Amino acid sequence: MKRTILFFLVLFLMASSYAQSISTNKRRLIDDWQFLRQDLGGVWEALREAKPGRPTTVPLWEDVTLPHCFNAQDAVAPDVNYYQGPGWYRSSIEIKNPYKNGRTLLQFEGAGQKTDVYIGFSNAGSHVGGYDEWTIDITDLVDSVRQNVLLSQLFNGKVPLTIRCDNSRDLQMIPSDLSDFNVYGGLYRYVNLVYVPEIFIQQVYLKPGISANGKRGSIQINGLLGNHTEKNVPLTATLFDEKNEFVQTVSFLSEGNKFEKSVELGKVRPWSPDRPNLYRIEIELNINGDKQNYTDHFGFREFKFEEQGPFYLNGDRLLLRGTHRHEDHSGVAAAQTEESIREELQLIKDMGVNFIRLAHYQQSRIVLNLCDSLGILVWEEIPWCRGGLGGEVYKEQARSMLENMISQHFNHPSVIIWGLGNENDWPGDQPDFDKLAIQGFMSELNDIAHSLDPSRKTAIRRCDFCKDIVDVYSPSIWAGWYRGKYTEYLSVSREQMEQVGHFLHVEWGASSHAGRHSENPDVGLESVKTGTGADEKAGDASLYGGAARVSKDGDWTETYACNLFDWTLKEQEKMPWLTGTAAWVFKDFSTPVRPENPIPYMNQKGVVERDLTPKESYYVFQSYWTTKPMVHIYGHSWPIRWGEKGQSRLVKVYSNCKEVELFLNGVSLGKKKRDSQDFPAASLHWNVEFREGKNELKAVSTSKGQMAEDSIQLEYQTEKWGEPAILELKEVAIDDQYSWLEAKAFDKNHVLCLDARARVTFSVSGDAVLVENMGTPTGSRVVELSNGVAKIKIRKENERYSAAVKSEGLKTAVISRAE
């Protein structure tokens, strides 16, 4: 009984910013929005009549659809700071609540970063925090708008909805603006209009249980009703199994606004990454004919982290094969649609991922639902990231975001870890950096998390003076990038594992400029010291100064990144004590703190580009982590290789098949058996003599009766080149509307400089525009060359335009088109 009382006290705490209410009467407010990227003098400026020719038509609003982000373009604009300030949205909505005395709610799945909501002239509510969900009851304000003659006339009976978002810099908010990601503004997740009865299901918490022998299951249902009542309300819960087949129905009464029901089940099938068995629950509330249906899913699973040992799921060891995800995408920034998120998560799963750290903030429920259904275990965290520790306002936001994250994502079987912070050893936002205060607040957050959810673990990454507070700790290990060489990975990891109870390595990898390759990726790295650790220290992320390191002195090729991933993955296969890892990061993403990168303001550590185009490294992971037969020859984005005539060149094939045969220009170069400990490419590498000019490579394997094959065409250049002396620009038409502009760097003898990586700037004038600010190598006005080449797309209205490309020390190249 005491446990039940305590749990309900926790429910009341967690329901302070509820947004979990799932109703059949819900619709997304996507269309008919306008946006203004500046502040207003007050909400009346968004409401007043604006007839053509009158001063009230300014400022000018633009038509948008939701989700929408302030920074869809300027987050990666090369020569401006991204916008941080207020912005306004306005729409008018038709309200038709089907319930007698029903409540009308606005549900926000996330909005950045401070938000004020207005119905008519009145403030309906406010929220601080850009990543947790929240709900506002607008019922009474809707009634007042309908009684307002002026507003009824202006909006023809619809209800005016105006929203102010603000992502201004604020040292008393999390996340810090020192973070290696943009603190976006806008309605970048869905806004929902929800109708519920007068008394409604507000929150439901599902606690599945499974017997020790795994043969029987149970489900504990706890919840709250909205619009407080002293009456006992009848509820019916219907359960369905993983095949969507009926299991049983139970009926029960609430006790005032709380309800609780325990249901015993027969044999259940556990949830796992290989078999993500999801059970479904439907809870119906029926009062005087007003029905509300709540639907959710859950799964049965048990896990444990062995002391200084591996991770176990449902009694079996599972090596966590992970990645990270930021909420960021080409052309839209944080404003991804459900379809876009689904495409991304499927691509993650297809790489063989069974674990993901959602960096560095609570993410959309859509993401969590996909992790549940695809079978991806989750570490989700609050955005206490860098900068130190602020005052009480700062700390209260962190507490609130932790409580809301746990409350809102409590039912997801994929979640195993609640993250409390990231890089909290990084000072800068406050005059004083108080380690004791940070330790004290970390302990407080740890206690909150365990009181709200004792079934899951807590974790942080990179803050050694707090590593003993949480259940699971990840130190900083960047062997081969920020410090040391990748051949040190195993020894450094073992040393770090022995210092904590539960070691889980998240964040490792290398940056790579997509399309840049090298015949000798390790040249120039002899001066990188070993034996001094592999942690990222202050200044290591900079491209200037300090000790020799690959991140500063390397060439950022896909070739080097693949070698680092390949070596590290082979080492992880022989670490029996390893819980798992999460490579940083799945997709290139924008950041305000890296203006000097090959694509300005982009973190380029992804294995796919910002638009989800896979880099070569994607297939390295696939070759280690997947079972569906696959073969991939390294170099799909490497059209020209180089060397001496008759010189052997390394060809790598990434495959999970037992044996692969390689062909050069139709002639077999032999078969090789896969051996994961034979570096590189798990023994699937050949020394090949290309002929000058065009060549074709083909790799074939037959595994389990399925054939997997891959082929590429390339040219082999034997001409040597000197320093870049000539910049050329040409147009390659795509269709009537689009063309590619292609820039190339040649030496004085007009030989293509295949190692050139100078920064170039494209421009266009006339009846064409650049397709820019995409954060990709082919969607950036300012970008470094990849093997002497850079491209960008233009959109043409007709054939009357001029284009140019320039680079420091070279003559600007210009082309003109005229009808």
Per-residue three-class SS string for 379-408: EEECCCECCCCCCHHHHHHHHHHHHHHHHH
pTM: 0.97
Look up the CATH superfamily of 13-193. Answer: Galactose-binding domain-like (2.60.120.260)
Q: Which pLDDT score, from 0 to 100, does residue 533 have? A: 93
Give residue 526's pLDDT band: very low, low, confident or very high (50, 70, 90): confident
Give residue 24's pLDDT band: very low, low, confident or very high (50, 70, 90): confident
Q: Which pLDDT score, from 0 to 100, does residue 561 have? A: 98
Which pLDDT tens digit goes with each residue over 231-243? 899 999 999 999 9
For residues 14 and 29, give the distance between their C-alpha atoms in angstroms, rounded to a whole number: 26
Decide if domain 325-625 falls under CATH 3.20.20.80: yes
What is the arrangement of strands in the sheet containing 640-642, beginning at the earlier edge strand?
Answer: 640-642, 706-717, 693-703, 659-664, 667-673
Which CATH class, in words, describes the domain spanning 2-11+199-298? mainly beta
Q: Which pLDDT score, from 0 to 100, does residue 229 have? A: 75
Q: Which of 15-24, 61-70, 470-479, 686-695 shows the lowest per-residue confidence on average (mean pLDDT)? A: 15-24
Q: Give exposure, 700-737, as e/b (b: 16+ Cβ within 10 Å).
A: bbebeeeebbbebebebbeeebeebbbbebebeeeeee
For residues 722 and 715, give the distance between their C-alpha atoms in angstroms, rounded to a whole number: 19
Q: Which pLDDT score, from 0 to 100, does residue 213 have? A: 80
For residues 663 and 661, give the distance between their C-alpha atoms in angstroms, rounded to a whole number: 7
Maximum Cα–Cα distance for the chain, whole Å?
89
pLDDT > 70 fraction of the chain, expressed in percent and rounded: 97
Residues 6+ apart with CB under 8 A from 532: 483, 484
Angle at 629 (CA atoms; ends 577, 270), nearest 5 degrees: 55
Which pLDDT tens digit goes with each residue over 195-209? 999 999 999 999 999
Residue 689 has pLDDT above 90, yes or no: yes
Which pLDDT tens digit goes with each residue over 646-658? 999 999 999 999 9
Given 403, 423, 571, 616, the catalytic residue: 423
154: three-class secondary structure by DSSP: helix
Q: Which pLDDT score, from 0 to 100, does residue 758 have? A: 98
How far is CA 753 from each of CA 507, 695, 722, rounded to the nearest angstrom? 34, 20, 7
Residue 798 has pLDDT above 90, yes or no: no
Which pLDDT tens digit goes with each residue over 772-794? 999 999 999 999 999 999 999 99
CATH (residue range 726-817): 2.60.40.10
Q: Check if 2-11+199-298 and 631-717 are the same fold.
A: yes
260 is catalytic: no
Residue 113 has pLDDT above 50, yes or no: yes
Which pLDDT tens digit goes with each residue over 588-600? 999 999 999 999 9
Residue 1 has pLDDT above 80, yes or no: no
Quote helix, strand, coil % in the chain, to nearest 5. Answer: 20, 35, 45
Q: Which pLDDT score, from 0 to 100, does residue 739 have? A: 95
- For the chain, the structural domain boundaries read 2-11+199-298, 13-193, 325-625, 631-717, 726-817
Q: Which CATH number fits domain 631-717: 2.40.50.100, 3.40.50.720, 1.10.3720.10, 2.60.40.10?
A: 2.60.40.10
